[in-house]
Chain A
Amino acid sequence: MTDTIVETNRPIGVYTRPKGGGGWRDWVTTVDHKKIGILYGATALVFFVVGGCEALLIRLQLATPNGTILGADTYNQVFTMHGVTMIFLAAMPLAAAFGNYLIPLQIGARDVAFPRLNALSFWVFLAGAIFLNLSWVLGGAPDGGWFGYAPNSGIIYSPSVGMDFYAIGLQITGIASLVSAINLTVTILNMRAPGMTLFKMPVFTWMMLVVQLLLVFAMPVIAVALFLLIFSRQFGANFFNTEMGADPLLWQHLFWIFGHPEVYILILPSFGIISEVIPTFSRKPIFGYEFMVFSGIAIGFMGWGVWAHHMFASGIGPLSVAAFSLSTMFIAVPTGVKILNWLATMWGGKIKFTAAMLFAVGVISMFTIGGLSGVTHAMSPADTQQTDTYYVVAHFHYVIFGGIIFGLFSGFYFWWPKVFGHMLNETMGKINFWVMLVGFNMTFGPMHTLGLQGMSRRIDTYSPGFGFELWNMVASIGSFIIATSVLIFVINVIVSAVKAKGQPHCGPDPWDARSLEWMTPNPTPEHNFDEVPVVESLDEFWHRKYGTDEEGRIVRVATAEEVCQDGSATGVHLPSPSYWPLVFSAGLPLVGLGLIFSLWLTIPGGIMMVGSLFAWVFEPVDDPDGPHGHHDDSEETATEEAPVV
């Protein structure tokens, strides 16, 4: 027993055995950052498959000229929902899954700063995701593109309820992102283990900190844009009414002031993941840690100064175009620094090409292609030629799929044993990678050509004779190869889980890893650390395993079993579960539906939200006998988790 373990026999908030009870009730009331991470990941993977099916529909429609699989209207809905789903319901929550699970572990904390708010973020996200997809059966999905340009998104050009679902649904998921961002920011700044200064934090945690700050400042901007859209559509406001002198570019500016930081919100978690994977499998510390961190911060700052490069063709004037051209070229510099550092990390290393490492190398190569085509957009004369063509589609899929999805898969293979206590099958993982790589390049590579040949994006079909047939067919075949690779992943998950059943958990350190999360046993016990570690260096876990002998050679000084904690601590004080985050979140879509269909529905929704807020405030957090009338959000138990030794 150490002094971080609170000895108490109070009934609430104490788990005598640090072990989950199992059962659905456990999951819907959980405030454990690891369970919430798993919930985020599972939900996001479901939506990844949904968005993927939408992509397959698009590719089926475009495989041949004059496709008839989808009508024009349905096509608009499908490509809009493909974008919205992949960005807001798959990529962002997958990053949140990794962040939730790993950040407290990497900084040596027992949970996040506000465990109940963390649960709230997840349930609100799920409510928003379900709300958005309800539109399919309640009058038509959004049809104005994920960017929802005005005045096309207005009531005149998009009379179905689709764009209402878009505006309100994204507003709901935005609340989830903002709450989660505040929570994780406070967690990282306030709850690091003793000795873990900011510059001893793993790169993943650093990148996530930058992402959370980007979210904190970007979400309110899209919130305003969406409010303007909701007010325009629901209450007849004139924000985008050009007949009265409104400027439709207002939407584009607000959207992209959010939208470009959003690009980095999406990519930086992946950068963080591979910055953990590459050093581990190159058996070298990351090259230029400080450069890695500062380039991430630089991207975070410069990401705010490039938004108008999405608007070069909208007539913003030569001065703006020149300025944003320059800033866009500049932002390639910190990104280039990162790529160089990953390469230098691998240089001279004893590289082990595991599935996780293959995906990480996939990120470096594929993202670089996407980055280079991105620089061609920065040159505005070229961009005016490329705008709204498939060249742009090719570019951002190389960045988003090649950069983000590959990175997330790298993370899956790397941290799967951490989360579930068993490995994913490596051979299937490698097959997964190669099939995905081939399918990915077959799908999106030809789109460069299609775009330069003049095929415009968002069209639902094309006529024969323009030279589009071959490459569209290749892309469509490629998309099904990608689908196959995802299927291989799903099979791998199932097969590995079945095989692991009844077997003992994998050892504590399957990869000979470097950072603090591996100091806990696999899978992570409910209380994370038996004893909060005192951190002395970057790559703390590695330094506890290795030292140098008298000739300066690196030698193993301790086995993983000696260094890892065994997870046997009992009576560790943990925050108690709560129903209220779920109840609050269930009220939000009711309010949303009420705004669209009948204001009466907002009443039960509002009652649920206000009621659960009060219940939240008054529920005894950890001491049923103590005073609990404060109107603050304090998660008293969380402060217990503050590092002490």
Chain B
Amino acid sequence: MSEAATTEHPTNTGISHNKLAMWVFLGSECLLFGALISTYLLYRNEFHTGPAPGDIFDIPFTSVSSFVLLMSSLTMVLALSALKRGDIRNNRLWLLTTALLGALFIGGQVYEFTSFVREGLGFTTSPFSSAFFTLTGFHGIHVSLGIVMLMSLLISSLRGNLKEKNSETVEIVGLYWHFVDVVWIFIFTVIYLVPNPTS
């Protein structure tokens, strides 16, 4: 219905309401992560008596999980292009793969958090630890919400409601998903790749 209506009644910009709203929302999200990243940058040296970032980060491990997350953007693109071709089966396959890769990333984050806590870096240990868990936690919540969206699309598809004409819905979820991935590139660079202080 919406798609039919959209083609009948073009919008002023030529972009549908839903897609434009997602773009505007993502613009807003930039500032959200911008503020969180700034907070982290301010506190990356303030580890008080707790573990310092350089003591605790396992860069090879996080690199692998970052790779997993970035690959999920590829599968997201494949999911969309499958649906655009009308290939429902591959669309489902790639949606599921994307969600699984996202879940794998979240699993890695849960593992990382637990091992940090075991090594003495809790949420309240230092300004550094508070900022670290808040920034990566917010990103993790964003990935998790993305997984919920992907699974909703998948369920919708299994009920026969996700057809070629709905490809814009997948595209919009994809916009969100790619955004969350791109943000991770920044977060990964800022937190892990910039040389970190040790205690």
* A residues in contact (CB < 8 Å) with B: 113-114, 178, 181-183, 185-186, 189-192, 216-221, 223-225, 227-228, 231-232, 235-239, 241, 244-247, 250, 254, 257, 621-623, 626-627, 629-636, 638-644
**Closest B-chain residue to A240, C-beta based?**
B127
Residues of A within 8 A of B48 (CB): 238, 244-245
A245-B46, A639-B9 given as contacts; is B35 within 8 A of A239 (CB)? no
From B13, B35, B169, contact of A631 by CB (8 A):
B169
From A220, A223, A239, A626, contact of B39 by CB (8 A):
A239
- In contact, A246 and B24 (Cβ under 8 angstroms): no
Bound complex: CA A237 to CA B159 (Å): 44
The A-B contact count (CB < 8 A) is: 153
Residues of B within 8 A of A219 (CB): 28
- In contact, B35 and A186 (Cβ under 8 angstroms): no
Q: Which of B1-55 contact A (CB under 8 A)?
A: 1-2, 5-6, 8-13, 15-18, 20-21, 24-25, 27-29, 31-32, 34-36, 39, 42-43, 46, 48
Looking at A178, A627, A639, the one whose CB has the most chain B CB atoms below 10 A away is: A639
CB distance from B164 to the nearest CB of A (A): 13
Residues of B within 8 A of A228 (CB): 39, 134
- Contact of B114 with A by CB under 8 A: no
Bound complex: CA A216 to CA B24 (Å): 7
Bound complex: CA A635 to CA B2 (Å): 8
- In contact, B130 and A238 (Cβ under 8 angstroms): yes
CB distance from B151 to the nearest CB of A (A): 9
- In contact, B169 and A642 (Cβ under 8 angstroms): no
Query: Main secondary structure on chain B at its contact with chain A?
Result: helix
- In contact, B25 and A622 (Cβ under 8 angstroms): no
8 A-B pairs closest in CB distance = A642-B9, A220-B32, A629-B161, A224-B35, A237-B130, A631-B152, A190-B11, A245-B46
Bound complex: CA A630 to CA B43 (Å): 42
- Contact of B156 with A by CB under 8 A: yes
CB distance from A189 to the nearest CB of B (A): 5
- Contact of B172 with A by CB under 8 A: yes
From A186, A639, A640, contact of B21 by CB (8 A):
A186
Bound complex: CA A228 to CA B39 (Å): 9
Q: A254-B35, A642-B6 are in contact. List 10 more A-B contacts (CB 8 A).
A: A178-B28, A216-B28, A217-B28, A237-B124, A239-B43, A623-B1, A629-B161, A629-B162, A642-B10, A642-B11
- In contact, A632 and B1 (Cβ under 8 angstroms): no
Residues of A within 8 A of B124 (CB): 235-238
- Contact of B88 with A by CB under 8 A: no
Bound complex: CA A192 to CA B10 (Å): 11
Bound complex: CA A642 to CA B7 (Å): 10
Residues of A within 8 A of B17 (CB): 113-114, 186, 190, 634-635, 638-639
- In contact, A246 and B43 (Cβ under 8 angstroms): yes
From A220, A239, A626, contact of B28 by CB (8 A):
A220
Residues of A within 8 A of B156 (CB): 629-631
From A183, A189, A225, A621, contact of B13 by CB (8 A):
A189
Bound complex: CA A642 to CA B18 (Å): 13
A189-B20, A239-B39, A245-B46 given as contacts; is B5 within 8 A of A639 (CB)? yes
Residues of B within 8 A of A245 (CB): 43, 46, 48, 126-127
Residues of A within 8 A of B8 (CB): 644
**Closest A-chain residue to B35, C-beta based?**
A224
Bound complex: CA A218 to CA B1 (Å): 35
- In contact, A182 and B35 (Cβ under 8 angstroms): no
Residues of B within 8 A of A642 (CB): 5-6, 9-11
- Contact of B166 with A by CB under 8 A: yes
A227-B134, A228-B134, A237-B130 given as contacts; is B35 within 8 A of A644 (CB)? no
Residues of A within 8 A of B6 (CB): 639, 642
Bound complex: CA A225 to CA B162 (Å): 39
- In contact, B27 and A238 (Cβ under 8 angstroms): no
CB distance from A339 to the nearest CB of B (A): 30
Show 18 A/B contacts (Cβ-Cβ < 8 Å), sorted by A: A114-B21, A182-B28, A190-B17, A221-B34, A224-B36, A238-B125, A239-B39, A244-B48, A247-B42, A623-B1, A631-B169, A632-B169, A634-B169, A639-B9, A641-B9, A642-B5, A642-B6, A642-B11
Bound complex: CA A404 to CA B67 (Å): 51
- In contact, B2 and A639 (Cβ under 8 angstroms): yes
- Contact of B149 with A by CB under 8 A: yes
- In contact, A238 and B12 (Cβ under 8 angstroms): no
Bound complex: CA A369 to CA B2 (Å): 51
CB distance from A295 to the nearest CB of B (A): 23
Q: Which of B126-142 contact A (CB under 8 A)?
A: 126-127, 129-131, 134
- In contact, A182 and B5 (Cβ under 8 angstroms): no
What is the size, in residues, of chain B's interface with A at 8 Å between Cβ atoms? Answer: 51
Residues of A within 8 A of B20 (CB): 185-186, 189-190
From A223, A237, A634, contact of B32 by CB (8 A):
A223
**Closest B-chain residue to A250, C-beta based?**
B42
Bound complex: CA A217 to CA B141 (Å): 20
Residues of B within 8 A of A223 (CB): 32
- In contact, A182 and B46 (Cβ under 8 angstroms): no
**Closest A-chain residue to B9, C-beta based?**
A642
- In contact, A640 and B35 (Cβ under 8 angstroms): no
- Contact of B123 with A by CB under 8 A: yes
From B24, B127, B134, contact of A182 by CB (8 A):
B24
Residues of B within 8 A of A237 (CB): 123-124, 130, 134
CB distance from B47 to the nearest CB of A (A): 8
Residues of B within 8 A of A257 (CB): 35
CB distance from B158 to the nearest CB of A (A): 10
Bound complex: CA A329 to CA B15 (Å): 39
- Contact of B106 with A by CB under 8 A: no
- In contact, A241 and B127 (Cβ under 8 angstroms): yes
Residues of B within 8 A of A643 (CB): 9, 12
From B10, B18, B27, contact of A217 by CB (8 A):
B27
- Contact of B153 with A by CB under 8 A: yes
Residues of A within 8 A of B36 (CB): 224
- In contact, B46 and A235 (Cβ under 8 angstroms): no
Bound complex: CA A216 to CA B20 (Å): 13
Bound complex: CA A642 to CA B9 (Å): 6
CB distance from B195 to the nearest CB of A (A): 20
Residues of B within 8 A of A633 (CB): 18, 21
Residues of A within 8 A of B16 (CB): 639
**Closest B-chain residue to A623, C-beta based?**
B1
CB distance from A106 to the nearest CB of B (A): 14
- In contact, A186 and B123 (Cβ under 8 angstroms): no
Bound complex: CA A417 to CA B183 (Å): 49
A216-B24, A220-B32, A635-B17 given as contacts; is B126 within 8 A of A644 (CB)? no
**Closest B-chain residue to A220, C-beta based?**
B32
Residues of A within 8 A of B159 (CB): 629
- In contact, B2 and A636 (Cβ under 8 angstroms): yes
